[in-house]
Amino acid sequence: MIENINWYPGHMKKTRELIKENMKMVDAVIEVVDARIPVSSRNPIIHELTGSKTRVIVLNKSDLSDEKANELWAEKMRAEGSRVIIMNCMSGEGVKRLFKMLEEEQARKNSASQRQKAFRMMIVGVPNVGKSSLINRMMGKKSTQVGDRPGVTKGKQWLTLKNGMQLLDTPGILWPKFEDQKVGINLAFCGSIKDEILDMETLALELIKVLREDYPELLMERYKLDEIKDTALEDMEAIAEKRGFLMPGKRIDYTRTAKTVLDEFRGGKIGRITLERP
């Protein structure tokens, strides 16, 4: 399912070069992370490229992730020296706190310089973590294309905010290979990898395995299951039967079941779920 994916297509190589080239032009880097997978959605290459630049970590999609886990992750990241904001870029929750943090950083930088320059920022992150949604919130209007699939942003864009700050958007960047296959699976669960190149049925089965272990009550409630079965495959078949996803001869429609489970997880319909714990 995961092993044969080309994780590093050409446009992502170009994005790495773009970030490296423009890093010297910005004062701060805003790294957008999916709060459901705060480890898997943080690209180690971004840490390498940003170096000593001021960096703010945005834990986005906080409305889809476990509320207690959000606080634990933010606390852990702050203890490690990072600036962290828990956000929901779709609703705008957390945007005011982000602006306050950036304005404080701008004031600090300007106080050390005789020349008052526009504060410049770069937004980075792996595909589909919500960078475009954040930009639209910061701009106060729809300035960049938003999509619920990876690869919507194609090239760099310089944008000027109402307060005079300048913002550089970049396409999502994945890394060349994963040391841990679990990272790739988590990104696939959350839609950061195109579904067309994945085995959706196996991916949904893997997700059901995780939910059985960590959120059995939510799984049972969403799909009206009487109990958790002996295996994830039996649970998947029970979900299909409850939803009526059957083909002639009462055969299970695994494809439709898989798509439903993945779509409902990604949309938060199963519940607020965090796949990685600090």
pLDDT in tens, 127-183: 889 988 999 999 886 654 444 444 444 456 788 898 889 998 776 676 656 667 888
pLDDT at 65 over 50: yes
Which pTM was predicted? 0.85
CB atoms within 10 A of CB 158: 11
What residues are paired with 30 via a beta bridge? 56, 123
What percent of the chain has a predicted confidence (pLDDT) above 70? Answer: 85
Burial zone of 168 (CB within 10 Å; 0-12 exposed, 13-18 middle, 19+ buried): buried
CA angle 115, 117, 119 (to 5 degrees): 145
In this prediction, residue 3 carries a pLDDT of: 57
Give me the phi and psi of 251, to 5 degrees please. -80, 145
Residue pair 234/223 in contact (Cβ under 8 Å)? The answer is no
Instruction: Return the top range by mean pLDDT from 85-94, 149-158, 218-227.
Output: 218-227
User: Where does the pLDDT of residue 233 fall: very low under 50, low under 70, confident under 90, or very high at 90 and above?
Assistant: very high
Residue pair 22/50 in contact (Cβ under 8 Å)? The answer is no
Mean pLDDT over residues 212-235, rounded?
97
In this prediction, residue 149 carries a pLDDT of: 42
User: Where does the pLDDT of residue 254 fall: very low under 50, low under 70, confident under 90, or very high at 90 and above?
Assistant: very high
